[in-house]
Amino acid sequence: MLVIDSLHVRVQDRDILDGLSLSVGLGEVHAIMGPNGSGKSTLAQVLAGRDGYEVTAGRIEFLGEDLLALTPEERAHAGLFLAFQYPIEIPGVNNAYLLKAALNAQRHARGEPELDAFEFMRVIKDNMKLMQIHEDFLSRSVNTGFSGGEKKRNEILQMLTLEPRLAVLDETDSGLDVDALKIVANGINSLRDPQRSMILVTHYERLLELVKPDHVHVLAHGKIVRSGDHTLARELDERGYEWIEQEAQSA
Amino acid sequence: MATDSKELAGLVGGKYRYGFVTDIEEDRVPPGLNEDVVRLISAKKNEPEFMTEWRLKAYRQWLTMTEPTWAQVSYEPIDYQSICYYAAPKNPDDAPKSLDEVDPKLLETYDKLGIPLHERARLAGVAVDAVFDSVSVATTFKAKLAEAGVIFCSFSEAVTEYPELVKKYLGTVVPRADNFFAALNSAVFSDGSFVYIPKGVRCPMELSTYFRINAANTGQFERTLIIADEGSHVSYLEGCTAPMRDENQLHAAVVELVALDDAEIKYSTVQNWYPGDENGVGGIYNFVTKRGDCRGANSKISWTQVETGSAITWKYPSCVLRGENSVGEFYSVAVANNYQQADTGSKMIHIGRNTRSTIISKGISAGHAQNAYRGLVRIMPTAQGARNYTQCDSLLLGDQCSAHTFPYIEARERSAHIEHEATTSKISEDQLFYCRQRGLSEEDAVNLIVNGFCREVFKELPMEFAVEAQNLLNVSLEGAVG
């Protein structure tokens, strides 16, 4: 599904990723953990094609294609979804409008017929129920005046509706209380599928209690310094990140 | 909504769609202005004596006036003697009585414009008065309106058919010498629309006028007068287009609205005069005086405008809130791209008790454009309990354009309640990236965000025109980002 091969990324003259390699197979859920400033969010942004992140070396292959050659919207059409750490506010544009425009743009790119308003409502109704989102939410402006929890639930609603092949969730658990975290985790779990892969970028272990990853990786100083199964996440929770960083440095 | 997106993409790829010229025989007077020209215009329209006199007085007053210079716009001085003040499609004596008599080429023009004169008009339920250069060509649905007692005709026709109404109301909202351009209009106005809604009548359909400047070196000076008698209700829409030409053309219109007790007038404008090319060559000078008089108690006048065209826009649709509890509203989207200049806003003059007004202004600047909001809220000592809410939002696309806000507030009554909010924002990289990550192209993302910005105004437009306005906006901002 996704192969990242010794990726080097520079942001504003600073090297952030320094030879990162990662391979995500079909249907797998990978967690990327690491201390602040280790490059986790940079990885998410580079995957989605954000401007200002300069890839100085390495390559990324997504479903057999050169991901770095695609525009952000082409990556979306190919099935890549990024749940933003800080979802963006768009005053005046309502949620339903953006989501329907996005879904139809993707369907159009794939040569599928576009959905009209009724079909669209049918598609999102169950998703809204799952995310415990009230109907009046659809007519509110995108993320405008939303609480932190509402914004994150909205990201997952979009993900459920767009049904990506690869979902990258950037610190989706940050700023959530226990109840909201459960709702978000439910949403993510409902999308687990042998045909779909996920990358969960997170600082804490608590999301991984609810969404069990197949693989856990620790990112430090721009590269993956250790990989394991979900027990690694627990170990990190107990011991912190320092010991791994020290090990990596001495090695 | 990718269907829309596709259409939008097509639109965005296009240039000014309405830039064609129709080749038809014209009756026009030579360029220049003097009393003889004023008399000639009046004579060509078979006007009664009072009208000729009215024009001449206006002309003499105009001679003593100077062009206003306070607006945030700049242009080469206009040579008023080089403008042609009257151009009409052929048959000078006998204006067409029905659509069958209208030059087929003219009808073709309207087809190109997408104006449904016959069948589509019926389907849309819109009555259309089409003003081509200076003369009103055809007014559809006259019969159906007449049943309801509604008068909807060209201004020229009103002068001859309903002289008493014209005499009673003309110039009572915008006096002859109100300002330089209004005085010029009063002297040489050629045609326009006239509407009278009798007591207690709710006009059975949207009324609509399309203005078109076709001839070269011609000024267009239309005059519109709408009277809503007690307890009546009318919604009126005007649309404007012009061919692409290298020289600037002057458009100086006057619109007067009168709302008597419990009457309501809703006036919507989609203005798309040729804005000039991307280097600022050519385009229409749109110097317009629009004013509504809420003369009666509990009356209401609402202006909605979407201004995407014109090289220069100078326009302040206003409400004089004379009647107790009367309401004035102004909803505006003004777009300036390339080298367009817009100085536009509203005036709300509160005279009666408990009068209320709302101003929602959305200015969008792109390219090298200048966009200014200029508004006046005046509360007179007689206006106890008056309230105003003003919101001015500016959106900047790119870093070569500018937005200005000039709010004037005069409160002469202690109980006045006035609120003013203003914001300036740019479409952020973050917003664009967010939309693109969800699968929208950059162009569609810009359109989405801009339309969101304008939503409060668009929702005030009649349904079928809201779509048109949205499309226009997208065309106007073609290439503004990226």
Give residue-wise pLDDT tens across range A155-190.
Answer: 999 999 999 999 999 999 988 999 999 999 999 999
Question: Is the Cβ pair B438, A141 closer than 8 Å?
Answer: no
pLDDT at residue number B74? 84
Q: Which long-range contacts (CB under 8 A, 24 or more apart) does B20-24 make?
A: B20/B109, B20/B112, B20/B243, B21/B214, B21/B243, B22/B105, B22/B106, B22/B108, B22/B109, B22/B214, B23/B105, B24/B89, B24/B90, B24/B103, B24/B105, B24/B106, B24/B214
Which residues are within 8 A (CB) of B104 and not within 5 positions of it... i.e. 6 or more apart? none
pLDDT tens for B240-293 read: 655 555 567 788 899 999 999 999 999 998 877 777 777 777 778 888 999 999
Question: Could you give the CA distance from residue A173 to residue A152 in angstroms, rounded to a whole number?
Answer: 8
Residue B417 near residue B357, CB atoms below 8 Å: no
Q: Does pLDDT of B182 surpass 60?
A: yes
Question: Could you give the CA distance from residue B382 to residue B143 in angstroms, rounded to a whole number?
Answer: 43
The tokens describing B391, both together, are: 């919101």
Is residue A107 less than 8 Å (CB to CB) from chain B? yes
3-state class of B204 per DSSP?
Answer: coil
Chain A hits for B433, CB-CB cut-off 8 Å, are 48, 50-51, 72, 88
Nearest to B91, CA basis, from B175, B24, B5:
B24
Q: What percent of chain B has pLDDT over 90?
A: 42
pLDDT at residue number B140? 52
Which residues are within 8 A (CB) of B239 and not within 5 positions of it... i.e. 6 or more apart? B115, B208, B209, B210, B211, B269, B270, B271, B272, B465, B468
Chain B hits for A81, CB-CB cut-off 8 Å, are 437
Is residue A48 less than 8 Å (CB to CB) from chain B? yes
Q: How far is B469 from chain A (nearest CA, A)?
A: 16
The tokens describing B238, both together, are: 């005007």
Residue B327 near residue B355, CB atoms below 8 Å: yes
Q: Does pLDDT of B429 surpass 60?
A: yes
pLDDT at residue number B145? 82
Q: What is the mean pLDDT of chain A?
A: 92
Question: Could you give the CA distance from residue B140 to residue A31 in angstroms, rounded to a whole number?
Answer: 68
Question: Is the Cβ pair A108, B6 closer than 8 Å?
Answer: yes
pLDDT at residue number A72? 97
Residue type, A242: E
Radius of gyration of chain B (CA): 22
pLDDT tens for B110-131 read: 555 555 444 333 333 345 566 6
Nearest to B129, CA basis, from B56, B192, B40, B223:
B192
CB atoms within 10 A of CB B467: 13
Question: Could you give the CA distance from residue A115 to residue A216 in angstroms, rounded to a whole number?
Answer: 38
| Residue where the block lists tokens 């091969």 | A5
Longest dimension (CA), chain B: 68
| Residue where the block lists tokens 């509402």 | A150
Q: Which residue of B has its CA nearest to A168?
A: B437
Which residues are within 8 A (CB) of A10 and not within 5 positions of it... i.e. 6 or more apart? A16, A53, A54, A56
The tokens describing B351, both together, are: 């005279």
Chain A hits for B430, CB-CB cut-off 8 Å, are 88
Residues 141-170 of A with CB under 8 A from B: 141, 158, 162
Q: Confidence band (pLDDT; 50, 70, 90) for B95?
A: very low
Which residues are within 8 A (CB) of A84 and not within 5 positions of it... i.e. 6 or more apart? A155, A170, B434, B437
Question: Is the Cβ pair B444, A97 closer than 8 Å?
Answer: no
Radius of gyration of chain A (CA): 18
Nearest to B315, CA basis, from B132, B103, B73:
B73
What's the CA angle centered on B136, arms B130 and B141, to 5 degrees?
55
Q: How far is B413 from chain A (nearest CA, A)?
A: 35
Question: Is the Cβ pair B448, A108 closer than 8 Å?
Answer: no
CB contacts < 8 A, A to B, total 99
Which residues are within 8 A (CB) of B144 and not within 5 positions of it... i.e. 6 or more apart? B127, B204, B205
User: Regarding predicted confidence, which is higher, B435 or B465?
Assistant: B435
Q: Confidence band (pLDDT; 50, 70, 90) for B230?
A: very high
Chain A hits for B449, CB-CB cut-off 8 Å, are 90, 92-93
CB atoms within 10 A of CB B121: 17
pLDDT at residue number A114? 92
Question: Could you give the CA distance from residue B457 to residue B334 in angstroms, rounded to a whole number?
Answer: 11
Q: How far is B8 from chain A (nearest CA, A)?
A: 13
Residue B138 burial (CB < 10 Å; 0-12/13-18/19+)?
A: buried
| Orientation angle between helical segments A117-130 and A95-109, nearest 10 degrees | 110
Nearest to B438 among A89, A102, A114 (CB): A102
CB atoms within 10 A of CB B35: 13
Residue B237 near residue B207, CB atoms below 8 Å: yes
The tokens describing A229, both together, are: 């199964």
| Orientation angle between helical segments A95-109 and A148-162, nearest 10 degrees | 30
Phi, psi (deg, nearest 5) at residue B236: -130, 135
pLDDT at residue number B153? 85
> Which conformational region is residue B314 in: left (phi greater than 0), alpha (psi within -120 to 50 degrees), or beta?
beta
